[in-house]
Amino acid sequence: MTSAILVSILMTLVAASTPILLAALGELVVEKAGVLNLGVEGVMLTGAVAGFAVAYSTGSTGAGLVAALVAGVATAMVFAVLTLSLTANQVATGLALTIFGIGASSLIGAGFVGRTITRLGPAFPEALSGHPLLRAVLGHDIVVYLSLALVLAVSFFLNRTRPGLILRAVGENDASAHAIGYRVIAIRYAAITFGGALAGLAGAYFSLALTPMWADSLTAGRGWIALALVVFAAWRPARLLLGAYLFGAVMTAELQFKAAGVTVLPPEALAMAPYLATIAVLTMMSLGPKSGRANAPACLGKPFSAS
């Protein structure tokens, strides 16, 4: 009995962690290329609404996930054109993108408020995950496994492949990379495309898997947590995984306390926990030794124009 409860808590934890992990992983690649996209929250929301709209109309969550991916890339491209081709300020553009995402998703989603769809199901047949322990390993949906595989893939790409080396070089010193002959802008476009796709997918995870019902701003600031997490992880995919699950645990604890009726703290204070944790983590990182920040891409947030 207790094992069943533990497994159920674990399932909630994994589900809560997955979208943060996806969005943060995308942003990590973007930042490694030297671009700071503060619009993650906005991209997630457009992904969430596009995914829900398509899933609702077609009845297929798979189609919804693909639509979210495309919507995420499209929104990120707005950011890319503004900041890379037109060298607009990255911070301002990112903030604008978030506000745009909140507004656009609310507008598009107006007709869907309160509607429900079939939730994204487990990746493997029920038969395989009958036993609670098996369920803990095999009972998740496809996006969970995808996110874990992507952590490995991104880590391998950045540290073991030549394109990954070039991407890091562009984020480290864009002028040098340009001088050697690498196409800084093209590489950054590619990185932002990847980041947009993952943020879109992360957003859809909210509307298709976590709460299969549309509500305004349902990502509830998780995009910002993803951004903070990249710093927390010191731009390392493995630490990102750890961090995302840590935040997932904090959020799950909040839900569990609420469900159990623990009234030591008001529910609003509990709801604040993940964001307080974000601030605490960022403070610790900034006070920490220099080595923590040494891994930051040196050209992060700086516009580049070849001249």
Shortest distance, position 167 Cβ to another protein, whole Å: 11
Closest separation in Å from C-beta 96 to another protein: 24
Residue 199, token pair as written in the block: 């943020």
Minimum Å gap between C-beta 293 and another protein is 5
Check: CB of residue 174 under 8 Å from CB of residue 299: yes
Q: Which two tokens stand for residue 192?
A: 């932002």
CA–CA dist 98, 21 (Å, integer) = 19
Which among 163, 129, 143 is positioned nearest to 32, based on CA atoms? Answer: 163
Place of tokens 């509830």: 220
Segment contacting another protein (CB under 8 A): 95-103, 114-122, 240-248, 290-298?
290-298
Total residues at interface with another protein (CB under 8 A): 20
Helix axes 40-58, 90-109, angle to 10 degrees: 20
Give least dist CB 306 to another protein, A: 12
Q: Residue 287 interacts with another protein (CB under 8 A)?
A: no
In the beta sheet, which residues pair with residue 116? 213
Task: Give the nearer residue to another protein in terms of CB position, either 179 or 242.
Answer: 179
Q: Is 285 in the site for another protein (CB under 8 A)?
A: no
Cα separation, 69 vs 62, in Å, equals 11
Phi, psi of 213, deg, nearest 5: -150, 140
Minimum distance from residue 211 beta carbon to another protein (Å): 41
Spatial contact of 148 and 14, defined as CB atoms under 8 Å apart: no
d(CA 251, CA 17): 9
293 near another protein, rule: CB under 8 A: yes
Contacts of 209 (CB under 8 A, 6+ apart): 15, 18, 119, 120, 141, 143
CB of 165 to another protein, least distance (A): 6
Binders of another protein among 148-187, rule CB under 8 A?
162, 165-166, 168-169, 172-173, 175-177, 179-182
Under the rule (CB under 8 A), what is the footprint of another protein?
162, 165-166, 168-169, 172-173, 175-177, 179-182, 290, 293-296, 298
